[in-house]
A and B are shown apart, each in its own frame.
Chain A
Amino acid sequence: MARSVTTRGKAINTAIAWAVGLLIFFPILWTILTSFKTEGQAIAAPPVFLFFDWTLENYAIVQERSDYLRYLTNSIIIACGSTVLGIIVAIPAAWSMAFVPGRRTKDILMWMLSTKMLPAVGVLYPIYLLFIKLGLLDSRAGLVIVLMLINLPIIVWMLYTYFREIPGEILEAARMDGASLKNEIIYVLTPMAVPGIASTILLNIILAWNEAFWTLNLTAAKAAPLTAFIASYSSPEGLFYAKLSAASTMAIAPILIMGWFSQKQLVRGLTFGAVK
């Protein structure tokens, strides 16, 4: 029997949801507001919230100093490239683990996840040396490979979880109808797992977009994405909060807009299989 919720209960739940939402969004809102302040207003104590002289000066300075479009292009290529590559590698791996599990499948999955627990700096030097040898330093191709590798455990785990929800009998029926393994994955499994694959893609684009350790350490001038763009506006000597906020707003705007438009797909995918 469905539990009845009173109007008062609904109102309280709505208020709590809004409060939590605003709390989570507040740092982003504050960053956006600060980007429209002068440096003096940005550090004013007590802080000014809405009533200040709004200015676009910081955006003008950032635009003049940095080639935003170059950083943006790099971010798009690196985030999308690493995600697509990861999906191509992960779908067969997840299929195998979901539908033809071996004795050690669970162990392999756990081992893959455990690689995420290794501090990235622990493998910085080996990877840096490899990049030098392979000529991949400061290249978008190098970053696509590295970000694909570091996000691969999450991609495989997510896809594995979604694939497990799909009845194996359907794939078996396809096989009985003569479908090859390739066709089974492309024409039967993938269409059924579209919500899960879409949410995996979206989440991984966000993760790759925000990744700051490798993108800062393996790039210089050519392949640097928006994380390097933000890092160039922080300073230990001098006022920089307003300009840094403008740079941050410009860096998060594309991914924020993408997230906004795809939120339905994202939520659907993330909750896929949560309730049977």
Chain B
Amino acid sequence: MTNTVRALLGATALCTFAGVASAETITIATVNNGDMIRMQGYTDQFTAQTGVEVEWVTLEENVLRQRVTTDISTKGGAFDIMTIGMYETPIWGANGWLVPLNDLSAEYDAADILPAMAGGLSYDGTLYAAPFYGESSMIMYRTDLMEKAGLDMPDAPTWTFIREAAAAMTDRDNDINGVCLRGKAGWGEGGAFITAMSNSFGAQWFDMSWGATFDQKPWLDTLTFFKGMMDESGPAGYATNGFNENLSLFQQGKCGMWIDATVAASFVTNPKDSTVADHVGFALAPDNGLGKRSNWLWAWALAIPAGTQKEAAAKQFIEWATSKSYIETVAANEGWANVPPGARTSLYENPNYMEVPFAQKTLDSILSADPLNATVNEAPYVGVQFAAIPEFAGIATDVSQEFSAAYAGQQTIEEALAKAQALTNDAMEAAGYR
């Protein structure tokens, strides 16, 4: 045997032993949200406890969605854990793309997950993703402006009150808009808001035979009300405003009310970024007297793609990241206002957390959203601000573009609804639903 061959064999053996000795590494794809970034900072604690190394791939939400969808649908195996939402989970669970999470340890206490979250992250009664944090939507309003207008915000207002209050708070001379809402095209932007709002007006996306319902009165009422109120009291260019644009306006004191994700409560009450941090109140999202409020339900959750070679380590990580003890670790280091909200019942039984000003309203909002029964009339789909079918994201993006064009005055509401009706029915027929 030559020296070269011996050296090569030796190197190979060394590499093999080094491989055995080195820690297992899992790769996690996640979204760039504050709570997720915070979790990355605590990963060393998980590695110290388990010996499992973690590599993070952090991407913008839409990029992440495309990236993980490509990977899981081709069984690429690039990720051992994926951060996904309530929209993907039941669809991917039904496809057999996710590992069921029905064997989590007793210590993890899966029964403690908020029922609304567990329901939205399950398919056929099986949990496929563990919620890291959950959110609904609610009203954030300026207490000082409300007082100046001589009004009291009810805990659970109606849309009629919101419109009147918005008009009363609007002060164009001082650049104050009575209400700021999402009008931006995109199923997760303005599409999510108008869908949740339409639920309270008695509208829904599909009838029981999967036909579009944009030609019915509740949708006309929803859009007419929305556009009327926003034209009266909303900011200029609201048709292109999404979460971040409205957050910016509210933090600069340019909105009387903002109806959006409950997670925004911590941003608008943070004096470092918000000029109105001391003057913010909270109320449930409005209703229209039909028994459904206009708040949505969403969770960012951790799921394991079927076929990963590191399922055990991935489950270990999910149990650690979505555990009660992780919440306590964050609270001990960064305060209760910074723990991931909306996932566990026990968090809302904790007196320390309930002292956070928006905790109760966040919980009430989450509890009042029911993804299995979101509409006034019976609907064939699951989801509050979406319908959990694969075709929805594409259809809703197109529909929201038509709606945004109507908000911007480029077409009438009737024209937008007629186009939405036609394109939705075409897409559903092409997909074989009808």
Could you list which residues of chain A lie within 8 angstroms of chain B, going by C-beta atoms?
39-40, 43-45, 65, 124-125, 128-129, 131-132, 137-138, 216-217, 220-222, 224, 228, 231-240
Contact = CB atoms under 8 A, between A and B. Distances in A.
Contacts of B63: 216, 231, 234
Contacts of A233: 32
B57 A237 contact: no
Interface in B162-205: 188-189
A235 B261 CA distance: 14
A125 B74 contact: yes
Contacts of A221: 27, 55-57
Contacts of B188: 236
A232 B79 contact: no
Contacts of B32: 232-235, 240
A257 B70 CA distance: 35
Contact of A236 (B61, B75, B251, B252): B61
A236 B184 CA distance: 12
Given A128-B70, A137-B76, A220-B78, 14 more contacts: A125-B70, A128-B74, A216-B63, A224-B57, A231-B60, A232-B32, A234-B32, A235-B60, A235-B244, A236-B242, A237-B33, A238-B244, A239-B248, A240-B244
B196 to A, nearest CB: 16
B121 interface: no
A239 B252 contact: no
Contacts of B70: 124-125, 128, 217
* Residue in B37, B57, B267 with the greatest tally of chain A CB atoms within 10 Å: B57
A126 to B, nearest CB: 10
A37 B43 CA distance: 29
B279 interface: no
Contacts of A224: 57
B429 interface: no
A137 B78 CA distance: 7
Interface of B: 27, 29, 31-34, 37, 40, 55-63, 66-67, 70-71, 74-79, 188-189, 242-244, 247-248, 251-252, 254, 261, 263-264, 267, 272-273
Contacts of B78: 137-138, 220
A221 B29 CA distance: 9
A236 B57 contact: no
Contacts of A44: 252
Contacts of A232: 32, 57-60
Nearest to A129: B74
A40 B56 contact: no
Q: What 4 pairs between A and B have smallest CB-CB spacing?
A: A221-B55, A234-B60, A232-B58, A43-B248
A239 B33 contact: no
Contacts of B55: 220-222
A237 B248 contact: no
Contacts of B254: 45
Nearest to B29: A220
